[in-house]
Structure 1
Amino acid sequence: MDTIIIRGGGDLATGIAYKLHKAGYRIIILEIDKPLTVRRAVAFSEAVYEGENTVEGIKGILAKNRKDIYKIWDIGAIPVYIDKEGRIIEEIKPLVVIDAIIAKRNLGTNKSMAPITIGIGPGFEAGKDVDFVVESNRGPNLGKIIHHGKAEKDTGIPGEVMGYKEERVLRAPCDGVVKTFYKIGDILDKGQAICQVGDENVTAPFKGILRGMIKEGLYVKKGLKIGDVEPRCVKDYAFTISDKAKVIGDGVLEAIEYLRNKNSI
């Protein structure tokens, strides 16, 4: 069975991991020691804090060493391994390395890491940094495989839902430690204090459900995305992989199969 290493374990990376796991690949997710994921209920990065996290029936489990990785594979789960620099890539020698950190810049992924390398979204140039780039910007090109060139620039604007765009995103009003008052999936009223950063409250911009919230206790900088409010008051939306993540996952799977067939890998 072929191995794929995904750098990053946020919600988009998790959507990719979900698709590839279902397709029969062995997955390893590489994370940092304090992930800043907002949609934690649908992100394998949460295993770093909780030891494990189940997303749509697939379990991600924190691995402490290489032996753990094989044990986790044996039970049909996805190992999550803390490795910011990607040092284990050289040891495992995967078929594919995917950079799904979504940092809007390349943090060190390069074509020499594996027979197939893929970058998600802006920050990569197909044919130079990686073999392929997969478009992450919402619109007609979402999930498109880019053979040469770069993805569209990040707009910083989330997709529109019931007329709301930027309002859906909660950002830190100042530098400080996050203290949360509600759990992901809770229904909020407009103006309700959702969390506190330092001494400042962050309030709900409209009535909706708390779709995502950064881990309590983390120190954040002013302007960082720390939460996500969904105006459609359907609790399931907080606990399911987004359509965006699944479309990107489809694009990644198609890119891998294309290169495998082309090069007979």
Structure 2
Amino acid sequence: MAVHKLFKDFWVLVRGGGELASGAIRRLVWAGFPTVVLEIERPLAVRRLVSFAQAVFTGECEVEGVKGKLVRDLAEAKRYIEEVGGVPVMIDPEAKTLEELKPMVLLDGRMAKCPLDTRIGQAPIVIALGPGITAGVHADAVIETKDGPQDGRVIYEGQAIPDTGVPCESYGYREERVLRAPRAGVFRAAHEIGDKVQAGEIVGWVEDEPVRAKISGVIRGLLYSGLEVEEGTKLGDVDHRGEASDCCRTSEKADSVACGVLEAIFTLGLERGLFSDTSRPIGVQSQSQSRSRRVRWGDDRQGAPGVCGRARPREKGCGCPDRPGLHSGKTR
């Protein structure tokens, strides 16, 4: 994918190349933004076939048509983008590249679920994914990652819905579909992503202790074999629907998060004058247009537009969430 001439200097630096971050990375590249990914030396990405973190282990990867490659430095990263139009992945856990690249956007996609070292001011636009990060303190915007109608919402004040530690439901299954480490140690896989397994079948081992599938289905995600894990670490997940092709497709959740990231970039970029009028992409609203069509949760004025865009009479409602309590943070 070629970098669009409008965004050739609008660099996006992403910390973390896991599934949700990769959904956003893929859309950013499609939109024409030059994008660089920073990873740790041994990333614990589960859905590796749709994660640019896979390049750390294999040297190269591809996520739904977008190529990725492990590179040594920023100079090589820029050459790769220019020649291939793909996603360069660098091992840089301390984000030293941030100072060298000076990106327009810093996206924290590590899903740490707690504040780490990301702060407002590290780039003109700072965005973070998921719970535990406070919009207005650690980032300019936080993207909701909780499954449900809120998924992908852009939060400009406060936090995303707190992490419950309980996997989202999929056709009645929750924790049953998740593979977890029974103890601390080195994980060794006995299967590959896309393999079909039966309930009770051994999927791998942590040291000498077996990890068994709790339900029958297709292995949708699995950690890279040989990684050191802690007790309770998510090792993989099983999709009971049995469609191996789904293992190579980004999830609806990742797509929703990606849309939220793009919305935040264009909204904040326009408000802060980072896009000139002549470079505004087709279809992107001006600042005044954007503000006129947005209301906060709980705005129950007669005829005020709800988040779905329809008028929401006080006595009827349109089905949109209308209580701030449904969400820890505020949208616009």
Normalising TM by the smaller chain, what interval?
A: over 0.9
User: How far does the alpha carbon of each residue in 1:54-99 deviate from its partner, in whole angstroms, 9 at most, with x for none?
Assistant: 0100011001012210111011110001111111111101010010
In 2, Cα distance between equivalents of 1:163 and 1:123: 27
Residues 178-215 of structure 1 deviation map (CA, whole Å, 9 limit, x = unaligned): 11111100011111111011111111111100011111
Greater relative CO, 1 or 2 (CA 8 Å, sep 6+):
1
Match of 1:221?
A: 230
2:23 counterpart of 1:23: no
Aligned-partner SS, 2:26: helix
1:131 is matched with 140
1:198 aligns with 2:211: no
Which position in structure 2 is the counterpart of 1:50? 58
Deviation string 1:112-147 (CA, Å, 9 cap, x unpaired) is 210000111112111111111111111111111111
* Alignment partner, residue 20 of structure 2: 12
Paired residue type of 1:63: V
**Structure-2 separation of matches of 1:261 and 1:65:** 31
For the pair 1:119 / 2:133, whether they are aligned, the reply is no
Task: Report the structure, 1 or 2, having the larger strand content.
Answer: 1
Q: What is the aligned-residue identity percentage?
A: 42
2:75 corresponds in structure 1 to: 67
Name the amino acid aligned to 2:72: K
Alignment-mate amino acid for residue 7 of structure 1: R
* Cα distance in 2 between the residues matched to 1:232 and 1:156: 23
Distance 1:238 1:53 in 2: 14
Q: Given residue 51 of structure 1, which amino acid in structure 2 is its aligned partner?
A: G
Alpha-carbon distance in 2 for matches of 1:122, 1:160: 18
Distance 2:185 2:196 in 1: 25
Q: Count residues in correspondence.
A: 265
Match among 153, 163, 174 for residue 144 of structure 1: 153
In structure 2, what is the Cα distance between the partners aligned to 1:66 and 1:263? 27
Secondary structure at the residue paired with 2:121?
A: helix
CA distance in 2, matches of 1:175, 1:124: 28
User: Letter of the aligned partner of 1:202 in structure 2?
Assistant: V
Residue 248 (structure 1) aligns with: 257
Displacement of 1:111 after TM fit? 1.2
Which runs of 5 or more residues in structure 2 are unaligned? 1-7, 275-332
Measure, in 2, the Cα distance between the counterparts of 1:175 and 1:107: 24
Match of 1:41 among 38, 44, 49: 49
2:187 aligned partner: 178
Match of 1:164 in 2: 173
- CA distance in 1 between partners of 2:206 and 2:104 (Å): 42
Which residue identity is paired with 1:112? G
1:237 corresponds to which residue? 246
Q: Which residue matches 2:269?
A: 260
- The whole-number CA distance in structure 1 between the counterparts of 2:87 and 2:161 is 30
Return the index of the structure with the highest Cα Rg.
2
**Structure 1 gap segments, 5+ residues each:** none
Quote the offset at 1:162 in angstroms.
Answer: 2.1
